[in-house]
Structure 1
């Protein structure tokens, strides 16, 4: 009996000594923004652009670093079917990823381009619509064990989009696919260019957002409790480089990530009852001093 008591005491002490989160809380989102699903920096990281997912307004909001909404854009002619992420290219154009597909039933997946020159307006039409489909998906929906066609995170790289799938299969094993779609208006077949495993359980390893650093040398994959950092990859073979798993020691419904600069990230979680609905900063390393 004493042996079991000692074991219990050890586990209890280890649990109590769990490392505090390295996340720095910056602000709470306004009450009107409860389901932020994508964030991006603009104007040299002085503003945070964000959007919400399915059922919310077809708008992009721009917040200052205190959390106040400074401006918003209504994207005309579009329904927010399931806006899951927002990205930008090196020129500063924004892209809305309308590809949320929880039940793997959608056949209207699309990405919408917002020109940099129009971001000060209150209403705009998308300047380009990129539609795509997954050639591997034959059924809508597939069997529950084969539901690999939801996406909540993507990046723009070398004039292509790279989408990282969120595993919705009943036998979750962390498998995620990487699809490539050209940044060109029209209808496209997404090309599967990679496959990897995030980790063993859905709660901690389902992908909720992806971001590319400004120097395009780091790619951060977000889950509810972790960051999977890919570095030193060759071209668009993101899996060819170094992989580091970072435990945030903080579990919440984290849905959005973007780089503030090459060495730090912004992370947002959704409001769930009395928790979340905040923007955090996370430093992944200290710049090397020359």
Structure 2
């Protein structure tokens, strides 16, 4: 009996060790550090993160299309705050909202959260929308939005856009002062265009204001600005860009440094104070960090 038990134990240990050994090694770039793995909820397909301005150690996240209209309060180690009313269902459901293709989340100067339903892979959507909502308590099970703002790109005249201008997807949203900014994700080139929204009147479709174009060398998939508006971080699929914001009309005019990183599908980035950023991979649910001091000055390799 003891021999059978011992043999069985060896078999279980063998398969367990091989299971963990089968996990691919985590390959990190210089300056990139692993924080942890996201908990149930944002681990599904995270595509946005922003630091709370009302609560310590709270970052708000959401998933891409396929999830309910739900945001998740996450600690900086990736663990998720449980819902007080619905302990078996993490996150805060936003009543009345629809998650068609949520791609980023931001926070405004007055503390309102901005959830961006702007994903537009087909470049054919006519229902691009921003939800503005009061930040809920981290353990709240339900809330609703304060405003629902429809937007459109003034340059887009056909739906879908023509192949040579397939550039009306947006996965990067940030705020400066009282305004909301959008960065387009291009499929016709490797640049991005910066748009601004400064009118929050409901009941109409807002035409976005085009400000500038910047060559990223990749697709813009996430962005965040410091609360004081002095710095902006933008992510592509392999690089974090840091900008010194000197003019709100041209926020990408002064790139100062970059950090190449390694990941499968990073689509979420946020400042964690002025000297550090967090970024998350939707394919692996891994959460990373990097210090601004480790970014390479722009123009150097």
Sort the TM-score into its range (normalised by shorter chain). 0.7 to 0.9
The aligned counterpart of 2:12 is none
Which residue of 86, 89, 105 maps to 2:105?
86
User: Quick check: which one's strand share is greater?
Assistant: 1
How many angstroms apart in 2 are the aligned matches of 1:143 and 1:30?
Answer: 40
> Which shifted more, 251-260 or 225-234?
225-234
Alignment partner of 1:69: what SS?
A: coil
Residues 125 and 251 of structure 1: is their aligned pair in 2 closer, same or farther, counting only changes over 3 Å? Answer: closer
Question: Aligned pair count?
Answer: 256
Q: Structure 1 residue 69 and structure 2 residue 69: aligned?
A: no
Alignment partner of 1:285: what SS?
A: helix
1:214–1:259 Cα contact (<8 Å) kept: no
How many angstroms apart in 1 are the aligned matches of 2:135 and 2:150?
Answer: 21
The aligned counterpart of 1:23 is 32
Which residue of 170, 180, 184 maps to 2:196?
180
Which residue of 240, 247, 251 maps to 1:238?
251
1:215, CA displacement in angstroms?
2.6
1:225–1:251 Cα contact (<8 Å) kept: yes
Structure 1 ranges of 4+ moved more than 4 A: 117-120
The aligned counterpart of 1:37 is 47
The aligned counterpart of 2:292 is 284
Alignment partner of 2:116: what SS?
A: strand
Cα RMSD (Å): 2.0
1:279, CA displacement in angstroms?
1.0
Which residue of 168, 188, 203 maps to 2:187?
168
The aligned counterpart of 1:212 is 225
Residues 120 and 140 of structure 1: is their aligned pair in 2 closer, same or farther, counting only changes over 3 Å? Answer: same
Superimposed CA distance per residue, residues 265-287 of structure 1 (whole angstroms, 9 cap, x where no aligned partner) = 0100112xxxx21111110128x
The aligned counterpart of 2:238 is 225
Alignment partner of 1:83: what SS?
A: coil
How many angstroms apart in 2 are the aligned matches of 1:116 and 1:44?
Answer: 10
The aligned counterpart of 2:124 is 105
How many angstroms apart in 1 are the aligned matches of 2:145 and 2:239?
Answer: 33
TM-score normalised over the length of structure 1 = 0.82
1:232, CA displacement in angstroms?
4.4
Segments of 5+ residues of structure 2 without an aligned counterpart are: 1-26, 84-90, 295-301
Residues 31 and 237 of structure 1: is their aligned pair in 2 closer, same or farther, counting only changes over 3 Å? Answer: same
1:231, CA displacement in angstroms?
0.6
How many angstroms apart in 1 are the aligned matches of 2:235 and 2:69?
Answer: 24
Larger radius of gyration: 2
TM-score normalised over the length of structure 2 = 0.79
How many angstroms apart in 2 are the aligned matches of 1:147 and 1:259?
Answer: 30
